[in-house]
Structure 1
């Protein structure tokens, strides 16, 4: 399975944030998306998830040799600031999610198993989401994607709100998930990117550029990334 970006363009006022972006992401890999503040990482994610419309280009999903246009149901988006109904408990929210997606009702009996897998205690799963920490809210988002299994999962700074133990659990979960998904996460932490990712992609000057895999664990890695980022005129 591949996610294919074909000449994606997005402009805000007079600024072209995404300039005919082309790239191909493959199932079975974790991709790290690097870029300076304002480079357009969130814009790219919003275009892929159909939160906002592009001004040009197409996004394709290729499965078993058949290529079709990407739809919003193909994409799971873990937001940096989770958007969840805080008047529900975590358990009630998952029940609501299953009820809103009839094809998943058969999994209703597994709700506690999903929470167990996310290492969320029985007390926490029956508390109001309003009382959840930022990290717990992100775990709840991830739980939904474990259930729904969208082909593409986008993660916007997903691990920065977790403590060391939970971050390690989430890293291991992402490694397990990558065989069935295309995983792309944005981060500004180079150590996290090199530790977790199979490939790194830099967004700069409205374009995506791959960091050579052989450099990821070499002394030249940071220098190479800085070279790719430093010529962005918006940060001159």
Structure 2
């Protein structure tokens, strides 16, 4: 199974974010998507899951000899600060999520099974989500993609604001499931990229560029990545546009 990004182009007004960006992501690997703040990482994810319209280009899924435009149901987009219904308990939310997605779910376990997988205590699952920390909300997001088993998992800086214990738990789950998925992990924390990911792709100068796999184990890894990204002079302006766009959708 492959996720194919083919000549993807996107501009906001006169500011071009991606220009004929192309790359193929393969099943069984966790990819780090690295770029400066504002380089277009979140924009790329929104184009993949069709919450933003492309100017041109294609996002395709190739599987079992067939290549066709990717379907929304094949994607799970995990964000760093999820907005979940505060008036439900965690358990009620998962139950609602299962019912709403029943036709897309295979091999469904019990809610308690999923709670154990992410180390969410039963008592915590019966609390209102309005009292949850960011880490607990992200555990609910992980339960969501563990239930759906999507072909493609997009993770937009999901570990940035979490405590060390939750980070370790999430890393463990990602490594346990990665063989069955295409996982793209956006982060600006280089140590996380080294710890979790198998391959590294830069989003830089409006393109997607792979990094030599051997570089991840090089003592000069961080310095090399920084030097590769240092010339992205437009990053802060693109970041401002992305933030404004996010506010307009709230």
Matches of 2:62 and 2:107, distance apart in 1: 27
Q: Which runs of 5+ in 1 are unaligned?
A: none
Which residue of 2 is the match for residue 210 of structure 1?
210
Matches of 2:148 and 2:22, distance apart in 1: 28
Over 3 Å counting, the alpha-carbon distance change for 1:224 and 1:114 in structure 2 is same
Is residue 4–residue 62 contact of structure 2 (8 Å, CA) maintained in 1? yes
Matches of 1:116 and 1:180, distance apart in 2: 20
Is residue 39–residue 235 contact of structure 2 (8 Å, CA) maintained in 1? no
Is residue 17–residue 39 contact of structure 1 (8 Å, CA) maintained in 2? yes
SS at match of 2:84: coil
Is residue 99–residue 105 contact of structure 1 (8 Å, CA) maintained in 2? no
2:64 pairs with 1:90: no
Is residue 95–residue 108 contact of structure 1 (8 Å, CA) maintained in 2? no
Which residue of 2 is the match for residue 225 of structure 1?
225
Q: Which runs of 5+ in 2 are unaligned?
A: 237-250
Is residue 98–residue 104 contact of structure 1 (8 Å, CA) maintained in 2? no
2:94 pairs with 1:114: no
- Report Cα offsets for 1:183-205 as digits up to 9, x if no partner: 01111111111111100111111
Matches of 1:225 and 1:99, distance apart in 2: 44
Q: Could you tell which deviates more after superposition, 221-230 or 7-16?
A: 221-230
Which residue of 2 is the match for residue 27 of structure 1?
27
Matches of 1:35 and 1:211, distance apart in 2: 12
Post-superposition shift, 1:105?
7.3
- Report Cα offsets for 1:43-86 as digits up to 9, x if no partner: 00111111111110001111122111111111101111102111
Which residue of 2 is the match for residue 11 of structure 1?
11
Q: Could you tell which deviates more after superposition, 130-139 or 95-104?
A: 95-104
* Runs of 4+, deviation exceeding 3 Å: 104-109
Instruction: Count the aligned residue pairs.
Output: 236
Is residue 199–residue 213 contact of structure 2 (8 Å, CA) maintained in 1? yes
Using the size of structure 1 for normalisation, the TM-score is 0.95
Is residue 35–residue 203 contact of structure 2 (8 Å, CA) maintained in 1? yes
Over 3 Å counting, the alpha-carbon distance change for 1:224 and 1:85 in structure 2 is same
Tell me how large the CA RMSD over aligned residues is.
1.6
